Structure 1
Amino acid sequence: MNKSKKLLPLGSIVYLEEGTQKLVIVGRGAIFEDPETGEQVFADYMGALYPAGLQTNSTLFFQHENIDDVVFEGYHDDEEDRFLKVYHEWEENLKIPRKQID
């Protein structure tokens, strides 16, 4: 993820491009097994349908550029700022490929 793009806080609610349901961001920097290739990849965000929340097999992975509209931005404090600094350093050194999500 480009540092110029602001990583949204947990609890943010978004619509994805061409999406019809709101998603709540429940994780960032998610590493998961790509079902298409079986390889480990990472995504900027992990989300769940809003207002239902986490359900078995309903977690969605997406990138910052897939977001069409931010409905609500989650809580942000000094701890969030510290997390973002560490996150960007982690991402710069990450050897796992970033999943291309269309």
Structure 2
Amino acid sequence: MNREHLREHLPIGTVVRVNGGSQSLMITTLFPVTEKGGKKGYFDFGAVPLPLGVVNQDLAFFNKEDIDEVLFLGYVDVSFQQLIANYDELISNIQYPKFTVEGYKK
């Protein structure tokens, strides 16, 4: 896998640093759905800050293009490889628009 491919398909447990961020985040959720201004949408990833993990049930949401650095690659098994193989189909079945970090902050 090349580096760009890694940013697109990251398994649970992957640790990243996002653009403009100094804290390491561990991916816990793929395609999390959230709500902003009464509208639902999704991001590529949901993550928790390290070393504390879940705090107040809040997740950090971001997309693959927001990742600055992959610090640790999470667990890749057959089920994750199947998810990658079906990635385009999974994305096309999401009924919500994709949010951006900039749009979500407003």
The answer, yes or no, to whether TM exceeds 0.5 is: yes
User: TM-score, normalised on structure 1?
Assistant: 0.85
> 1:90 offset after TM fit, Å?
1.9
Aligned to 2:85: 85
Kept in 1, the 8 Å contact 2:13–2:28? The answer is: yes
Whole-Å separation in 2 of the counterparts to 1:56 and 1:5: 27
The AA in structure 2 aligned to 1:71 is: L
Whole-Å separation in 2 of the counterparts to 1:22 and 1:6: 18
Where structure 2 has 5 or more consecutive residues not aligned to the other structure, the ranges are none
Where structure 1 has 5 or more consecutive residues not aligned to the other structure, the ranges are none
Whole-Å separation in 1 of the counterparts to 2:86 and 2:39: 25
The AA in structure 2 aligned to 1:20 is: S
Aligned to 2:94: 94
Secondary structure, counterpart of 1:81 in structure 2: helix
Aligned to 2:22: 20
CA RMSD of aligned residues (A): 1.9
Summarize the Cα distance change of 1:56–1:41 in structure 2 as closer, same or farther, 3 Å threshold.
Answer: same
Aligned to 1:52: 52
Matched residues, number: 98
Whole-Å separation in 2 of the counterparts to 1:57 and 1:4: 27
Cα offsets for 1:32-76 (capped at 9, x unmatched): 112xx2200000000000111111143111111000000001011
